[in-house]
Amino acid sequence: MKFTLPFILLLFISIGAFSQQVILSGKITDDQNKAIPFASVYIKNTTKGTSANSDGEYTLQIKPGTYEVQYKAVGYGQQSRKLNINANQSVNVTLKAESYQLNDVVVKGGGEDPAYAIIRKAIKKRKAHLNEVDAYTCEVYIKGLQKLLAAPKKFMGFDVQKAARENGLDSNRKGIIYLSESESKYSFKRPNNVHEELISSKVSGNNRAFSYNRASDVKVDFYENFQNWGGLSNRPVISPIADNALFYYNYKYIGFSVENGETIDKIKVIPKRSYDACFQGYIYILEDSWRIYGFDLFITKKQNINFVDTLRVNEQFFPVSQKVWMPSSVKFEFTGGLFGFKIGGYFISIYKDYDLNPVFTKNEFTEVLRITKGVNKKDSAFWEQERPIPLTEEEKTDYQKKAILAQKRESKPYLDSLDKVNNKFLLGGYQHTNRYDHEYYNLNPLLTSIKFNTVEGFSLNYGASYRKRVDTVNNRYLTIGAKLGYGFSDHKFKGVVNTSIPVGSFTLGFNGGSDIVDLNNTNPVSPFINTLYSLFEKQNYEKLYQKQFLSASVNKRITGGWIATAGAEWADRKWLPNSSAYSFFDPANRSYTSNNPLLPNQDAPLFQENQSFKITFRTTYDFSDKYETYPNGKRYLPSPYPTVGFNYDKGISNFLGSDVNYDQISADISKSDISMGVFGSTSFYIAAGKFLNNSSIFYPDYKQFAGNEVLFYKSGIDSFLLLNYYNFSTYTQYIEGHLEHNFSGFILNKIPLIRKLKLQEIVDVNYLSTPTIKNYTELGFGLQYLNFRIMYGTSFNGNSNIKSAIRLGVSF
């Protein structure tokens, strides 16, 4: 690097600016001389402050002057020091465990604890405190640390010892596995508008990564009735001052203390039932205003949380105006373990520089998150100046040691060596990765390329793909895929090529070749499942036809949540008869059905050979245009509103020999995971369509539905449990509806032993009406664990029961 005159001038200017700051530092301990981790340090009557680290050490950069500095921690008495600071100064502070006095309240036998009267007042004021600030901005510093506390040497053939050594852990496979820091400018406007801009980011051991820390993710607001912590808990966690908190909690009055003229009541929070999604610990309430002063609460695996054994939440508040208190710090601590691995860690956020009267631009909250290039390139001098929580010796060592590893990992020789180890043949397939150039090749495993169906017999369907990043700004890829196949009974070759090409803001797709495909274009039964049923049960559910085709498509996000896709396809289509009756077994002298689903006992053509040229158009809108900006492009966020869609399909006759002539329109509306609070979540999908013209139409052009006839089904909001795959496809009109409710353990969590399984109760209702089947209805009841579910379904047409069966599903 060359030192130019402007650079030297800038350096001196920076040094001059830094010289206007002095550093107040020290250590905070209890009266046993033990460090008090993460104690708060704030300048009185300001929002400038910091937190001690896990060793009780703190640093605070301020301008020279006289200040009243307040030191406090939950469970300890606050201490104030009046300090005249003109140069760097070290001040050690000892905090004594808080002694709480009891009011002169006599609780008679069977009488109510005084805590209940305080909690009722806090509940009454809950909504007022929730809405007392319409908007604000602040700066947030977040530090995250995760440590591996124990691990086996090997796990399922994986060399944990080697991986631990390569990632900077000690010989006992212990140490820091994730350490990061970030600074953000956070903006909020009611009811739920958020904008966050990452100012700086640092991840130990990775110079290219951006911190996962988000101010929105660590926000806790107990003035809300419950906290939705998806993934961590299947059910919302109830606030100790929720409107219905008295149904879930018991309370015990511990006593009161006085700080800065304010009376603070300490109340023990106790879940009424150990299995409810509730906290336990202590909450501190300010008298007269009945607002939360702070809390130290935790939740354990007894409350059926996922992934961790214990999660502790500590939040402290401070006044930012005469009537408004805001969070000064929030800390999450967690421990957990599985299969011999034990982890522990924390995330802590420090808030400062609140502005309760911000001025926002018109589109301020359309962008929810902004991360620009360079925020992860700040050097160590910057972080020494900016970080409010000093690093511990362990953290300093981790940064230093992993900086060397990071430099090595980002080099081309290292990435090439890593690719060389992983690029290998497996089960007849091959995967080649070039991480440095973002280029990937894949040859499918030979074993998984063999399928069986009664049309082709045993068939080989060998595929290959190529992917390369061509748009570094938006992280978009050119993809090319090819498939070559042969049926050993029908002696037909097939081959297909497909491509996806990003061009500006468009994505172009081109496909063509000869293939044998499902008559139902929703592909409701997988070739693998059909192979198993055919070879072991002699049941051929999949019905196929031959298609030689060329197609093109274009996809574009018009704006925000509005997306449109258009396509055109020419195809020569031919019905095929069965060519094989082979099966491993012959249960009850069962025979295969024909390849005509409407005439299963006759090998008669379903349709005559034809040519088709059709155009398709689909557009969807989700009533939201919110997005996140990253250095490699935008990511649009799921909308809280339903998504509506519109389709138009047109079969054009007498063009390129086309025999089809039809017009179909349809519309749909859907939404997944609508929160119902403690009662779980609901998802729905409703669609209706009509053929305005069906002058010349063939079975592959019909409206198809995602039916299911086997034990295993593709669970999805628009799929049926028991509907025949092919018999109810229509060329006239239809109405389709699906409703699913997930109770998220609301019922089973009340049953001893069963609650430990963390099961979720599922209820499904599916409906279809066409001219062929008037009022087809399915009712499904089942259980889900993670992404796996078992359902019992029963179906009706009018008042007649058609079928009942068990179904197993997987959703991702």
Q: Of 743, 740, 737, which Cα lies nearest the Cα of 676?
A: 743
Q: Are residues 226 and 91 in the same domain?
A: no
Q: Which amino acid is at 799?
A: N
Write out the two tokens for 517.
Answer: 């495909």
pLDDT at 464 over 50: yes
Q: Are residues 171 and 205 in the same domain?
A: yes
Domain count for the chain, please give it.
3
Q: Are residues 163 and 222 in the same domain?
A: yes
DSSP-based three-state secondary structure for 792: strand
Q: Are residues 119 and 265 in the same domain?
A: yes
C-alpha dist (Å) from residue 82 to 58, 95, 199: 17, 16, 33
Establish if 765 belongs to a structural domain: yes
For residue 113, give the DSSP letter. P
Query: Is residue 465 a contact partner of residue 458, using CB atoms and an 8 Å limit?
Result: no
Establish if 419 belongs to a structural domain: no
Q: Are residues 35 and 135 in the same domain?
A: no
Q: Of 761, 772, 762, which Cα lies nearest the Cα of 797?
A: 772
Establish if 155 belongs to a structural domain: yes
Q: Are residues 89 and 126 in the same domain?
A: no
Report the alpha-carbon distance of residue 118 to residue 136 in Å, rounded: 29
Write out the two tokens for 69.
Answer: 């500095």
Establish if 140 belongs to a structural domain: yes
Q: Of 694, 763, 685, 747, which Cα lies nearest the Cα of 718?
A: 685
pLDDT digit string (tens) for 82-103? Answer: 999 888 999 999 998 887 777 6
Q: Are residues 60 and 156 in the same domain?
A: no
pLDDT of residue 11: 31
Find the angle CA(77)-CA(83)-CA(84) to the nearest 5 degrees. Answer: 175
pLDDT of residue 362: 84
DSSP-based three-state secondary structure for 489: coil
pLDDT digit string (tens) for 641-699? Answer: 999 999 999 999 999 999 999 999 999 999 999 988 888 999 999 999 999 999 999 99
pLDDT at 332 over 80: yes
Establish if 152 belongs to a structural domain: yes
Q: Are residues 144 and 248 in the same domain?
A: yes
Report the alpha-carbon distance of residue 286 to residue 713 in Å, rounded: 55
What's the whole-number mean pLDDT along residues 330-350? 90
DSSP E strand stretches across 526-630 = 544-559, 562-575, 610-621, 627-630
Torsion of CA 222, 228, 230, 232, to 10 degrees: 30
pLDDT at 600 over 60: yes
Residue finishing a domain among 45, 60, 95: 95
pLDDT of residue 664: 98
pLDDT of residue 20: 67
What's the CATH number where 36 sits?
2.60.40.1120
Q: Are residues 172 and 303 in the same domain?
A: yes
Q: Which amino acid is at 304?
A: N
Q: Are residues 325 and 375 in the same domain?
A: yes
C-alpha dist (Å) from residue 379 to 387, 404, 429: 12, 15, 44
Mean pLDDT score of the chain:
88
Q: Are residues 226 and 354 in the same domain?
A: yes
Can you name the residues that pair with 689 across neighbouring β-strands? 666, 734
Q: Are residues 83 and 119 in the same domain?
A: no
Write out the two tokens for 616.
Answer: 């398709």
pLDDT of residue 433: 77
Report the alpha-carbon distance of residue 189 to residue 625 in Å, rounded: 17
pLDDT at 231 over 80: no
Measured in whole angstroms, how far is the alpha carbon of residue 362 from the centre of its chain? 29
pLDDT of residue 691: 97
pLDDT digit string (tens) for 722-768? Answer: 999 999 999 999 999 999 999 988 888 888 888 888 899 999 999 99
pLDDT at 570 over 90: yes
pLDDT at 450 over 80: yes
- What residue has token string 């008090």? 36
Q: What global pTM score does this model have? A: 0.85
Query: Is residue 204 a contact partner of residue 195, using CB atoms and an 8 Å limit?
Result: no
What's the whole-number mean pLDDT along residues 243-262? 92
Query: Is residue 327 a contact partner of residue 317, using CB atoms and an 8 Å limit?
Result: yes
pLDDT of residue 267: 95
Tell me which H or E stretch contains 268.
strand 262-271
What's the whole-number mean pLDDT along residues 525-530? 94
pLDDT of residue 17: 36
Q: How confident is the model at residue 432 (pLDDT cuts 50, 70, 90)?
A: confident
pLDDT at 4 over 70: no
pLDDT of residue 13: 31
Which domain, by its residues, includes 227? 115-409
pLDDT digit string (tens) for 601-622? Answer: 998 999 999 999 999 999 999 9
pLDDT digit string (tens) for 721-732? Answer: 999 999 999 999
pLDDT at 10 over 80: no
Q: Of 72, 73, 77, 74, which Cα lies nearest the Cα of 43?
A: 72
Q: Of 454, 504, 458, 515, which Cα lies nearest the Cα of 481?
A: 515
Report the range of poorest mean pLDDT among 108-122, 130-144, 510-524, 592-606. 108-122
DSSP-based three-state secondary structure for 421: helix
